[in-house]
A and B are shown apart, each in its own frame.
Chain A
């Protein structure tokens, strides 16, 4: 393309001598190239490269009625407004519980690496250490990948590993819930439960904490 056609269509009236017209074999490709680039631009701009990513989530089925089994190594996280997280370990005891246990205190943390990440790494130290050991073996090629995956999921499912319960109030955002699930996954917490209703006593305590 772009070779400017040398002999336009001229050659008229230049004298009587008739010559066989020597026509250039080149075709002007400019319009075609214009079109090609137009299409190229269109496809580049409209095509979606990355398919959306997704996170798999399983919700608990409705629990059977009656008293709930005791939670072993459980940590309950209460998500609330302004990206705040309150948590407590173990069972919840209201101030005037019949068992006479000390009332549960809510502790506050946040989504920063110094907050939630550090906390979960400490709480779930046992599982993290076990998985680190397995990962070292896996790296040294003494443990096959599939075996490593299976053993790691055994570790996170062990009763010594923590179970995280995520409860939200009406002010928490969806992003908070997803960030929470994400952080739990990073910190090898295999037992994650989202979608448990907050108890009235927990809610009341949370309200006093956030000062409302």
Chain B
């Protein structure tokens, strides 16, 4: 009678393929990742059938469900230049550190006089920042208008410089013209968004990109038959 001989093998498995895969994925995500910027307010845009993707180069106005307007520019360089000009226009001083922080700020909803204090605050403190009533856009004190106007000019300057540079180098230029985007909460009253539209139309800007989520999200209407 032969004793059954249990083959003594190491209980470990060769994990090399798994590790290879893990690193492959890490590399993939690192290269493709575009980071979600911290936003000062959570906005739930309504859904639509539209499937155009939003261009990169935008002046973005966000309207939350309480009607506060938040302003943002999609380019750090333009952001910084805008701040310099707005600072001169409104006589609000910003130090280098604040300007640097502003360059990385996706959007904000405070008056310009509160902006230095807002920039000094840490990310967690900003959420609770007071007063955060949105960028003023009433006819007497339309700061939003100035922000939009100056940043749009800055974006255009950057766009043309890049384009000229590409042309001079003989490279095909792929950039897109700056656009105006509005991201509003579905539950916001339309009149608040209308005020923002009015700010734009007063500047003879009539075409926008309204940011929407893909159809299939929450809507008041049941699924359409089409």
Contact = CB atoms under 8 A, between A and B. Distances in A.
Interface residues of B, number: 64
Given A36-B19, A172-B190, A174-B189, A43 B33 contact: yes
Contacts of B19: 1, 29, 32-33, 36
Nearest to A35: B26
Contacts of B226: 117, 186-187
Contact of A48 (B10, B36, B181, B220): B36
Contacts of B201: 59, 61-62, 195
Interface residues of A, number: 54
B22 interface: yes
Contact of B29 (A32, A47, A117): A47
B148 interface: no
A56 B222 CA distance: 23
B52 interface: yes
Contacts of B35: 46-48
Contacts of B225: 113, 117
Contact of B53 (A53, A83, A183): A53
A40 B215 CA distance: 30
Contacts of A179: 46, 48, 219-221
Interface of A: 1-4, 29, 32-33, 36-37, 39-40, 43-44, 46-48, 50-62, 79, 83, 111-113, 116-117, 168, 170-179, 181-183, 185-187, 195
25 contacts: A32-B19, A36-B23, A40-B26, A43-B30, A47-B32, A47-B34, A52-B211, A53-B211, A54-B50, A54-B53, A54-B181, A54-B212, A55-B52, A57-B207, A61-B204, A61-B206, A79-B190, A116-B221, A117-B226, A172-B189, A174-B185, A174-B187, A178-B46, A179-B48, A195-B201
Interface of B: 10, 12-16, 18-19, 22-23, 25-26, 29-30, 32-36, 45-46, 48-54, 63, 181, 183-194, 197, 200-201, 204, 206-215, 219-226
